[in-house]
Amino acid sequence: MFSFAKPSVYQTPTCFATYGVMGYPATNQLPTKVKPWSTILSQDYIHRVDLILPDELSLLIKEKILDGAAQIPSYHRIIMTLGQVLEGEFFTQYIKIGDVMMLSEGKVGVDNVFSLKDGKLTMYLDRETYERAGLVGKPHGVKGARGSQPRWIVEYDLRSPSALHGKKGFDRLVNACKNALNVPTTWLFCSLSKPPNPDPIAQYRQTKYTATPAVVQNMPIQIPPLNIPSAVLADRSRQELGEYSTEIYEWLSLVRLESPRVGLGDDINPYLSTYAVPGDPNGSNEGQLCKITWQGFIAPLWAVNTLAELIRTLPPEGWFSFSTTPFTRGVMGLGADYTIMRPPSSPGEYVLWEIKGHE
C-alpha cells in the first residue's frame, strides 16, 4: 500500500493507492473479506457510482447491468418520527426480520441526525436534545471544537434480544422518542431484503425513486497508457507506484467530471491550465469512452454485486474503472471515496484508490 504525503494542518484528505490481484468472483459467494470487495462494503451509504469503460464494451453490459429492472437500485423518501420506526409491523418486519438502511435529513454537527444500518441505530444529538432524552451516549466531534456547541452520539443495537418492548433499556429509548425525539423527520429508506406483504411503509407519506443510470457515450478522450509499468512492481520504494497512481487517478477524475482538459483537441491557454494527459503527446492515445452514473441512496452490497457482474461480463483484456462516492462528510461525518480500476489486458489485477478525510 502506498500513502501520499501526510495531510497538513488544514486536514487535506489523504489518498491511499493499492495494487493487488483478486480472484475471479464466483456467482454464489464473493470474497467479501478481502480487497477490493471489503473496501466498498465498508461504506455506509453510497450516493453515487461512476463506471468508465471503452465505448465499444458498453454494449456487453447493456442487458445484464443497464436494462435489467432488478439491477436498478431503488429507494424511498419517507416521513415518520423515530418512534414510529420502533413500533408495529415496521419494527418487526423491517428491522427485526428484514434488513434496511435509513438516513434522516440534516447535517451532523448542526442538526439532530439519525441513521440505521445492519440493525444499529445511531443518533447524533445536540446537547439540549440529549439531556431531554435522558439517554446514555458519548461526546462526538473534535475535542477542541466541542466547547461552544457540544454534540453527543447515542447508539442502539435494535437486533439485540434485549431490544424489545418491556425491556428497561429499550423502553427508555421509546420514552425518549415520545418526549424529546418526536418531530416528524424525512428519511431516505432502502430495503435490502424482500419487502413484506402488506408493506408497512404504505401507511406513511412515502415516495419511491429509482437510481436510473445516466449514460454518456462516444466521449472523445485522450487516453494515457493505463497498463501498470513493470517498474511499479519492481520498485520496492513504491515511488513508481506513487507517480503512476497519481497521474491515472487525476485523469480518471477529470473523465468523471467530463472535463474538456482530457477531450480531444483541447487547446486551452497554458496560463489558465497546465494540465497535460500523461504519456507521449505524439503517440496514438485517442479513443471513445462511455461513462455510466447511478445516483441516489445506494446500498454497498448493490455496488459490490455490480462490480462482480462487470468482471464476469467484460472480456479479460478490457479495462474499466468503478468509483463509489458516499454521502458527504458534512452529512454523516465519515466515509471515503473509492475508485477501482482494472488495467487493460490484466485480468485479476487492480489498482485501488482510497480518498479519506479526517474525523
User: At 158, phi and psi to the nearest 5?
Assistant: -75, -10
Helix then strand then coil, in percent of the chain rounded to 5, is: 30, 30, 40
Average pLDDT rounded to a whole number, residues 84-91: 93
pLDDT-based confidence at 340, cuts 50/70/90? very high
Average pLDDT rounded to a whole number, residues 245-253: 94
3-class DSSP assignment, residue 328: coil
Query: Highest-confidence range of 21-25, 65-69, 177-181, by mean pLDDT?
Result: 177-181
Average pLDDT rounded to a whole number, residues 216-232: 88
The DSSP element (H or E) to which 231 belongs, if any, is: helix 230-234
Average pLDDT rounded to a whole number, residues 314-341: 82
pTM: 0.88
Q: Which three cell numbers stand for residue 45?
A: 451509504
Q: Which three cell numbers stand for residue 104?
A: 434522516
The answer to whether 295 and 47 are in contact (CB under 8 A) is yes
The answer to whether 157 and 86 are in contact (CB under 8 A) is no
C-alpha distances out from residue 330 to 106, 152, 279, 326, Å: 9, 16, 37, 11
